[in-house]
Structure 1
């Protein structure tokens, strides 16, 4: 019997799977591709060493051009090198391939990896951080780090040979930190370690990709490589946590500074003459200052709890607070109830007893009961409950009897019968007319505080609270409730407020994005902004070391646009470096920073004569797309003039897509081009690059590609940068161009 059940399972389960994938299989059958076997697919053909994996993959794809299918396990991958297909895919298929799930441990739900629903929300939030005005504001920062790079190279003169790539990467990471965040890179001590983490992460994934059985999650999670992968991700997250902590400190500090500045500007507007004391009418016009005071009292109320005694049952939602119970309103928790959408949240740093009390109350929010001896205490932070308690329960809790020795039967502590009489008697002393008459007294003592502060300026530290207390101890101020003013946010038009991490931090305050999502997006953005820029800069210097005639043309353009070698390039001057831009584009054609773009087909995509079926993974191999001989004559030849305007107009717009295409393209396209142009222009204006590799136009010299998530030139090149001084060359600085850290 069991044998028959087993046989039926063996027949039914595969048949069911095949039936569900029948549409996928039907169209896949029509697309050319290598041999595929059950369970493994074509993955066994990709088994290779780390050194030749990339060459093997490119070779397989190239041999079946322009369209090829590959089965990897049960996943269908279709690669195409036809620009018209590429445009259809990148326009219609916005979901990324399941392949990107391999990055989930270090950057899940980022612009690179997330499902389209999440990507749309995140892209909408991040877009303002990459508008042209923001990018132009980064120019001086890029120039600063480029100048540091030049100084570093100059200091190498006559010294030992140094690997240049880690230095370039560290400078691009510093530039990314300084522009995408408001964090001073020098505060982050382990920047070099983060670079090492990125490299190790990529090496582990590459090792997984070229060991086909590790593509199966079951075997992957059992492997030592997976354990190492987890440790690397944890190290990377620790680095990012430090950045987010620094950003939060800076953001909170800027919040306070901005608010203080707004208070000051209001005071200057209402009280233009510094010598004059404010009148009551002027005080009433200080709307923003009043909101600041109210917000301060929300965050730091002067009393921690309100305690009332229930003379009768109080019905609050699903609960009844019974007669005889003590009802507690914890103001700190009530005022920080996240359900009420407070925008600015400041952590209360209570000490000892209060810290313990708040922590216990917070853990049972919104309603908690506590027995202290025979007394029942019920705590709530729901505003509706608070209203019922304070309207219906006028007697204070027996807790206030602890104050009887110093203030028995006062407005604070008395039974309701005494309180009513006292309140009735005292009320006239606090009407608006009486309070207005106190104005000059308050002004007098305020001026005494100012005078005291001026007198102690530059001397030893002083207890400020005691000064304020001393001046105000005779004056009990009871605030009237004035009209409510709608709270205004800080000025959102400032460049600082729109920087990538600052912008996300602000959105986190209004619960539009979680802290975990910020961590992941920051990780992705720093990796993308620093690593790809560093590799591109290093590749440009390497290739220009091969093509000395092109390097000389770049230098002549730089000398023409930037005649004074001491001056840093302005944004306007950078925009005039047409030939340098063509050089950068040609290098990104030959050596794009990423080897493939992958999308997931949510629906059938018709690309004559094939249909790429829904459920398939669509692959765009950039190295082959950018070297298609039908589009690029002599595709292996290095020729920056391919990007002259007339030449560009002859090609399909998707024949060259180093930053992807369509709405889900690279958000940092302009950012990346700017940092690359600034650093390359600054370096080449000061140095000539040479090394030991020379190739002729017919050689396949630029296929020296290394097996990485991002493409790098992989041969170790001994070289030098020669210091330029006008038209003369003085001094030799030995370097290596090996892209390892």
Structure 2
């Protein structure tokens, strides 16, 4: 009898902790209908990946720039107004990533992307020099070569309709592998290398599947389903490959090797640097251990592969649809480089202001990361609204970038918005986030996009398979087209 009562008491306590709710100021905000105890949970169980993205667009239309979704006890405040977003992103202490990011921990550990507090500050300090101007110039050598390899590949399929994603995904994956780890995936056809490339791509698909199935958010259940076992298998391959590369490079590495000078850059074809070299330098100084090196190499692989690939694919779709834009890019390249067929230098790319405006407009319409989320660790005020510790905030970059009061004709592709130099609210355009937790690799990403888009537009005229085609979009941690995007490349 006593045992039964004790069990009932424990069950009651567990249920109370799971279900008991407290009053919260966020409940006064609009949002989808909330049922007792479960909130909006049932509605989200029925939503597909494509449906989720469309549903979020509809919520923005129905409830405005501030609304709340309640899932059991969780309250998620959704924001798409530049003033609210500035308050959240500029906050110096509310920088902790929210629950869905933990799905990446088995792969990335708690490196720069997923850590918070003192660890995040230490890692940020270690990694900031990775994107110093001289290091970027060293990486630019790889980007130049990769963009030329891509051009040659496209010449081989001239006149035919090319499915962009596989081609561009290879380009960004090979580029990031060489700059992050000093490894040439396409030059090495070993089974381990092929496994690594396949596993990287599969992990992205599995994460999408998990994110859109609420019952798989529980770690124990996820591991018991086939999708979880496939994820585990991919992790073993990715970690094994990265560990082997790290140990091989460590074996041949010497202290001071990662100090990049002007002369090193000038002979860049002979002497290559990878982010891994800089991390090994930090290890020699006692600033990071081998586990930390693996975390940051894998983080760089994740953040620098898919994100840039999606931006380039959707960008080429837009450019192909606007002949006048690609012609202006070509003319600007001719103005800066003349009739030379050499690849531009970093300083010459910096002179291509229209090219930069085009890339910014691509990222406005299709920010690679359409939403970012924070777990609130310290009470703060959002204008007149108190936001309590424990709440979550979802920032809708996609919707922010399509606010008509910030960008008239928000769905139109108009690079001149950024070419004109007109003043803009500092948080109106945040494709790389903003504030203390902004993307550390944004200069790297912009440079890579400049190299590849300028190379393609100098060599080809682009035309779409279907004029005006815009794909349905999927919602996971990145923005993705639901189906393939085809573009035809004809030599100039």
What's the TM-score once normalised by structure 1's chain length?
0.60
Does the 8 Å CA contact 1:188/1:242 hold for their aligned counterparts?
no
Does the 8 Å CA contact 1:629/1:635 hold for their aligned counterparts?
yes
In structure 2, what is the equivalent of residue 331 of structure 1? none
1:588 aligns with 2:363: yes
In structure 2, what is the equivalent of residue 174 of structure 1? 174
Deviations 1:214-243 (A, max 9, x none): 223443333222222211222221221232
In structure 2, what is the equivalent of residue 226 of structure 1? 228
In structure 2, what is the equivalent of residue 558 of structure 1? 333
- Give, in whole Å, the separation in 1 of the partners of 2:86 and 2:411: 24
The alpha-carbon deviation at position 546 of structure 1 amounts to 1.3
Does the 8 Å CA contact 2:222/2:228 hold for their aligned counterparts?
yes
- Give, in whole Å, the separation in 1 of the partners of 2:14 and 2:240: 44
**How do residues 416-431 of structure 1 correspond to structure 2 at under 5 angstroms?**
none
1:126 aligns with 2:127: yes
Change over 3 Å in CA distance of 1:630–1:200 after alignment to 2: same
Match of residue 490, structure 2, among 712, 722, 727: 722
The total of aligned residue pairs comes to 478
The alpha-carbon deviation at position 49 of structure 1 amounts to 2.4
**Long gaps (5+) in structure 1:** 256-488, 696-700, 725-741
In structure 1, what is the equivalent of residue 47 of structure 2? 48
In structure 1, what is the equivalent of residue 480 of structure 2? 712
Match of residue 676, structure 1, among 449, 456, 473: 449
Q: Secondary structure at the match of 2:436?
A: coil
Q: Secondary structure at the match of 2:137?
A: helix
The alpha-carbon deviation at position 566 of structure 1 amounts to 1.5
Change over 3 Å in CA distance of 1:491–1:684 after alignment to 2: closer
Does the 8 Å CA contact 1:108/1:520 hold for their aligned counterparts?
yes
- Give, in whole Å, the separation in 2 of the partners of 1:248 and 1:204: 31
- Give, in whole Å, the separation in 2 of the partners of 1:180 and 1:75: 37
Change over 3 Å in CA distance of 1:572–1:35 after alignment to 2: same
The alpha-carbon deviation at position 104 of structure 1 amounts to 0.9
- Give, in whole Å, the separation in 2 of the partners of 1:588 and 1:652: 16
**Long gaps (5+) in structure 2:** 265-270
Change over 3 Å in CA distance of 1:76–1:161 after alignment to 2: same
The alpha-carbon deviation at position 553 of structure 1 amounts to 1.8
Does the 8 Å CA contact 1:692/1:718 hold for their aligned counterparts?
yes
In structure 1, what is the equivalent of residue 214 of structure 2? 212
**How do residues 492-641 of structure 1 correspond to structure 2 at under 5 angstroms?**
492=259, 494=261, 499-641=274-416
Does the 8 Å CA contact 1:100/1:113 hold for their aligned counterparts?
yes
Does the 8 Å CA contact 1:36/1:71 hold for their aligned counterparts?
yes
Change over 3 Å in CA distance of 1:118–1:536 after alignment to 2: same
- Give, in whole Å, the separation in 1 of the partners of 2:258 and 2:16: 62
- Give, in whole Å, the separation in 2 of the partners of 1:687 and 1:8: 72
The alpha-carbon deviation at position 574 of structure 1 amounts to 0.7
- Give, in whole Å, the separation in 1 of the partners of 2:368 and 2:104: 17
Change over 3 Å in CA distance of 1:544–1:191 after alignment to 2: farther
Does the 8 Å CA contact 2:138/2:272 hold for their aligned counterparts?
no
In structure 1, what is the equivalent of residue 196 of structure 2? 194
In structure 2, what is the equivalent of residue 689 of structure 1? 462
**How do residues 71-110 of structure 1 correspond to structure 2 at under 5 angstroms?**
71-92=70-91, 93-110=94-111
Alpha-carbon RMSD across the aligned residues, in angstroms, is: 2.7
The alpha-carbon deviation at position 5 of structure 1 amounts to 5.6
Change over 3 Å in CA distance of 1:566–1:490 after alignment to 2: closer
Q: Secondary structure at the match of 2:24?
A: helix
Change over 3 Å in CA distance of 1:491–1:78 after alignment to 2: closer
Does the 8 Å CA contact 2:147/2:451 hold for their aligned counterparts?
yes
- Give, in whole Å, the separation in 2 of the partners of 1:680 and 1:654: 26
- Give, in whole Å, the separation in 2 of the partners of 1:604 and 1:166: 45
Change over 3 Å in CA distance of 1:13–1:147 after alignment to 2: closer
Change over 3 Å in CA distance of 1:554–1:241 after alignment to 2: same
- Give, in whole Å, the separation in 1 of the partners of 2:275 and 2:55: 39
Does the 8 Å CA contact 2:19/2:73 hold for their aligned counterparts?
no
Does the 8 Å CA contact 1:636/1:702 hold for their aligned counterparts?
no
1:659 aligns with 2:432: yes
1:67 aligns with 2:81: no
- Give, in whole Å, the separation in 2 of the partners of 1:53 and 1:124: 37
In structure 1, what is the equivalent of residue 34 of structure 2? 36
**How do residues 332-347 of structure 1 correspond to structure 2 at under 5 angstroms?**
none
- Give, in whole Å, the separation in 2 of the partners of 1:125 and 1:596: 27
The alpha-carbon deviation at position 133 of structure 1 amounts to 2.2
Does the 8 Å CA contact 1:80/1:620 hold for their aligned counterparts?
yes
The alpha-carbon deviation at position 493 of structure 1 amounts to 5.5
- Give, in whole Å, the separation in 2 of the partners of 1:108 and 1:72: 27
Deviations 1:42-94 (A, max 9, x none): 23222322343322233334432201111234332111111121111112221
Change over 3 Å in CA distance of 1:180–1:586 after alignment to 2: same
**How do residues 393-408 of structure 1 correspond to structure 2 at under 5 angstroms?**
none
What's the TM-score once normalised by structure 2's chain length?
0.89
Q: Secondary structure at the match of 2:90?
A: helix
Does the 8 Å CA contact 2:162/2:486 hold for their aligned counterparts?
no
1:249 aligns with 2:251: yes
Change over 3 Å in CA distance of 1:713–1:625 after alignment to 2: same
The alpha-carbon deviation at position 187 of structure 1 amounts to 4.4
The alpha-carbon deviation at position 17 of structure 1 amounts to 6.3
- Give, in whole Å, the separation in 2 of the partners of 1:178 and 1:203: 23
